[in-house]
A and B are shown apart, each in its own frame.
Chain A
């Protein structure tokens, strides 16, 4: 167990710190892309700044989650670093978790930055911090799980195809559903928000930060759905993924 955790952190550091040291602009790019809607919200609808900040944080963890699951795994396979790791005394779980955590390390300063702004603007309170972290973690986990699922079932696709797919999915799951805007704006279609881990998490954070209200049944359903998406994608991935080929 100790080695499993140690290896997980080594892989997470190995897959993040060199990139972070040599390409610090990555963090700016990730933060700025996620903050583009916030920029327009700040100009055209200042009353929605809180919604925008929540969307920005969700966007950051969702983008990195899906990118880790699809792009990092695929590139490792492409450059054959994965083959080298398979032949090492490293557990596949350490590898998968390490890969998933790595981009979280890179994006953490950005998430913290937007969280501080949210605190300063009174969108978040100290009592809601636990809920914020839980919802963001589940959003990241479910998006990573979806990414792993896609890269496992499409493992013969080229890394370029999968990179593009990862970007498209990221955009589709972050900018279209109610992540930056309240689901009430969808009227009778507000149930759509339940379908995506991104909008689901955003809805939860809005409730815990007092931007919207929800009955406890609805709240529980959202948590259950988030956990279920994560669990199902991990189960399906584990069923298909092969550390060693046959």
Chain B
């Protein structure tokens, strides 16, 4: 399968007051027509990677390509095929969602008729058609974000680069955006998304990379990433956890709550039943991407 985006040995060093290695040789291959997520804590290098791919930032070394075009040498060609939602993007209060879509489409070289058609389609896709002529200053945070996303959708670009597009949105608005993203992937678009919302990464990604301190520490589908953990189940126990029988499983404590990670389902059921007999609250579920992520990036409270 040909790649929509690929990077090899991508390095970015910022020379401000002190030398900061934001990317330390990142190799990522994103297939055409897939939604690929970069998941990482703040400052991991996600935005730096996306800004290099979107031709806004030059890498220090290494190579990156979008649809076969080098992001450094063929930036103009790359720009014909991408559309970007930057991190923490804000709207101009005097613009309407329609103006965002229409003007940006014109800037991509569309005719007025085509720009109108694409703007209408994009605004309907993000359910903003009825609000298309309201100024952004009168829209909610979620609606503003969707207006920006619509402007990117209207571009009809092959590769969409979205830097935390759902940050600050409530759960309902976030899910609306997810639905739109999955529809786009079904239409054949390639999406590179950055997020630190685990549920988002798990729900929308075909594949993802966990990036930490400028390095990719895991890559694969959400299921493949979850399979990296030895344990398959988690048990949430609440109450006096000292009453639990001795066990050798990995435990994460939060006050009177504990998460116990176990390998097998039978062991999980057995431990839950013992906890319940001791009068504790307990429930089990398969481990989540967040559990694996925390373990991989080393942010666990043991």
- Contacts from A to B (Cβ < 8 Å): 3, 7, 10-11, 13-14, 18-19, 22-23, 78-81, 83-90, 244-246
Q: How far apart are B47's CB and chain A's nearest CB, in angstroms? A: 11
User: Is B76 in contact with chain A by the CB < 8 A criterion?
Assistant: yes
With A3-B109, A10-B103, A14-B103 in contact, is A87–B84 under 8 Å at CB? yes
Contacts of B104 in A (CB 8 A): 84, 88
User: Is B82 in contact with chain A by the CB < 8 A criterion?
Assistant: yes
A86 & B55 in contact (Cβ 8 Å cutoff): yes
Q: How far apart are B229's CB and chain A's nearest CB, in angstroms? A: 37
A80 & B56 in contact (Cβ 8 Å cutoff): no
Chain B residues within 8 Å of chain A by Cβ, number: 36
With A80-B86, A89-B108 in contact, is A244–B57 under 8 Å at CB? yes
B58 & A18 in contact (Cβ 8 Å cutoff): no
Query: How long is the Cα–Cα vector from A14 to B104 in the complex, in angstroms?
Result: 9
With A80-B88, A83-B86 in contact, is A88–B56 under 8 Å at CB? no
User: Is B223 in contact with chain A by the CB < 8 A criterion?
Assistant: no
A89 & B80 in contact (Cβ 8 Å cutoff): yes
A87 & B94 in contact (Cβ 8 Å cutoff): no
User: Is B172 in contact with chain A by the CB < 8 A criterion?
Assistant: no
Query: How long is the Cα–Cα vector from A3 to B111 in the complex, in angstroms?
Result: 12
B103 & A89 in contact (Cβ 8 Å cutoff): no
Q: How far apart are B72's CB and chain A's nearest CB, in angstroms? A: 9
With A14-B103, A18-B96 in contact, is A86–B90 under 8 Å at CB? no
**Nearest-CB residue, chain B, relative to A7:** B107
**Nearest-CB residue, chain B, relative to A21:** B94
User: Is B46 in contact with chain A by the CB < 8 A criterion?
Assistant: no
Query: How long is the Cα–Cα vector from A107 to B127 in the complex, in angstroms?
Result: 36
With A14-B99, A22-B94, A22-B135 in contact, is A88–B107 under 8 Å at CB? yes
B89 & A84 in contact (Cβ 8 Å cutoff): yes
User: Is B95 in contact with chain A by the CB < 8 A criterion?
Assistant: yes
User: Is B92 in contact with chain A by the CB < 8 A criterion?
Assistant: yes
A11 & B107 in contact (Cβ 8 Å cutoff): yes
